């Protein structure tokens, strides 16, 4: 590919996350959104028209283009493995939303098939690129709080996803917690034990699906670091996203975000602020843009993507272990992969 022209990108999926990626690709100075693929062609056509791209129905139509440089996979989870495999076979860089698949055996087969590839592959754990979380991690790595001893991650969605989505999501651990499990590995890469518990407190259709609406996960690192993850499918006060890193010499925190920093002081209260950002699309808007920048840099410089395919494998293994622990009431050991 020539450095003198923008990279030609195909986007798979025209749903909610596809729309986020489409806007970011179209606005990126080093990218050209050339194709949007979705078997639900009307959605692809509408999104393509809004972003100057061509709508197609199939992957065959995308990979038939010799000038294709990269794909972004925002289509349903069941399509991810096939699209990653096709991209690697064609030497086309890929950024894939999580999870790689709901079936860990299928993921391992894919890993074996693509092992040793030089094709850039990135997993869409965009929270690594959140400026606040990334700053905390960099300062921990720099030794600012000494040895990391405890990491606390709180992640609560504003409201449960729709019933139809829950039914095919793979459950809270593989759908929601998986982001936080990857964030745990961002700080503590080598997790050796997982304990989890779950409850059904407020959503009937989540319970009917055999899933939990509230969970707490505890992880142990090889250096005996402890990580606690708290997840809920609802939060009355907005998208609750916080992180605390506690070390031998201090503490670093990253709190929730509001639209402005304005505070009101009056007779009925002090430090009154705007409500927290209402949804992940607003909360992580900059993270998605930073993620895309990192993907482009890897392509241009020929460097490995981070997070990569193996990070997706480990996040799914931890999610499966959390599910097993919550069902069995026992801690689950994590072996080498």
User: What would the DSSP string read from start to end of 103-162?
Assistant: -HHHHHHHHHHHTT--S-EEE--GGGG-HHHHHHHHHHHTTTTSSEEEEEEEEE-SSPPP
Tokens of 258: 């509001």
Looking at the DSSP bridge assignments, the partners of residue 9 are 33, 70
User: Can you give the pLDDT at residue 337?
Assistant: 84
User: Can you give the pLDDT at residue 46?
Assistant: 97
Ranges of each domain in the chain: 7-119, 128-286+315-333
User: Can you give the pLDDT at residue 27?
Assistant: 96
CATH class of 7-119: alpha beta
Helices 104-114 and 309-328 pack at an angle, to 10 degrees, of: 160
User: Can you give the pLDDT at residue 336?
Assistant: 83
Tokens of 63: 């990979």
User: Can you give the pLDDT at residue 2?
Assistant: 61
User: Can you give the pLDDT at residue 1?
Assistant: 61
Tell me the mean pLDDT per 10 residues along the chain, length 337: 84 95 96 97 96 96 97 97 97 97 97 94 97 98 98 96 94 97 98 98 97 98 98 95 98 94 93 87 92 98 96 98 98 93
What is the architecture of the domain spanning 128-286+315-333? 2-Layer Sandwich (3.30)
Other CB atoms within 10 A of residue 143 CB: 12
DSSP letter at 49?
H
- Percentages helix, strand, coil for the chain (3-state, rounded to 5) are 40, 25, 35
User: Can you give the pLDDT at residue 105?
Assistant: 97
What pTM, to 2 d.p., does this model score?
0.95
Nearest to 153 by CA among 336, 307, 305, 322: 322
How many whole angstroms separate alpha carbon 178 and alpha carbon 159? Answer: 18
Helices 285-301 and 131-141 pack at an angle, to 10 degrees, of: 60
DSSP letter at 238?
S
């Amino acid at each position: 590919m020539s450095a003198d022209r923008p990279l030609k990108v195909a986007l798979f999926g025209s749903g909610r996350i596809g729309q986020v990626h489409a806007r970011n690709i179209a606005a990126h100075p080093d990218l050209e959104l050339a194709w949007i693929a979705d078997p639900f062609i009307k959605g692809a056509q509408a999104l393509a028209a809004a972003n100057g791209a061509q709508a197609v129905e199939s992957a065959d139509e995308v990979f038939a283009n010799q000038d294709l440089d990269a794909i972004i996979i925002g289509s349903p989870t069941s399509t991810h493995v096939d699209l990653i495999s096709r991209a690697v076979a064609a030497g086309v860089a890929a950024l894939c939303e999580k999870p790689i698949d709901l079936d860990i055996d299928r993921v391992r087969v894919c890993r074996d098939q693509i092992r040793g590839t030089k094709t850039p592959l990135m997993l869409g754990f965009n929270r690594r690129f959140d400026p606040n979380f990334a700053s905390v991690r960099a300062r921990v790595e720099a030794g600012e709080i000494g040895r990391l001893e405890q990491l606390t991650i709180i992640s609560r969605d504003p409201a449960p996803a729709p019933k139809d989505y829950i039914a095919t999501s793979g459950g809270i651990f593989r759908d929601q917690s998986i982001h936080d499990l990857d964030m745990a590995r961002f700080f503590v890469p080598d997790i050796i034990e997982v304990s989890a518990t779950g409850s059904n407190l407020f959503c009937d259709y989540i319970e009917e699906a055999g899933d939990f609406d509230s969970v707490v996960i505890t992880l142990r690192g090889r250096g005996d670091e402890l990580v606690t993850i708290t997840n809920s499918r609802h939060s009355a006060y907005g998208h609750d996203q916080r992180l605390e890193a506690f070390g031998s010499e201090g503490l670093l925190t990253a709190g929730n975000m509001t639209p402005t920093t304005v505070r009101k002081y009056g007779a009925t209260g002090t430090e009154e602020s705007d409500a927290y950002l209402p949804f992940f699309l607003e909360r992580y808007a900059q993270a998605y843009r930073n993620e895309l920048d990192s993907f482009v840099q890897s392509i241009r410089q020929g460097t490995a993507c981070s997070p990569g395919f193996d990070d997706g494998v480990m996040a799914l293994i931890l999610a499966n272990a959390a599910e097993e622990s919550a069902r069995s009431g026992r801690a689950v050991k994590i072996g080498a992969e």
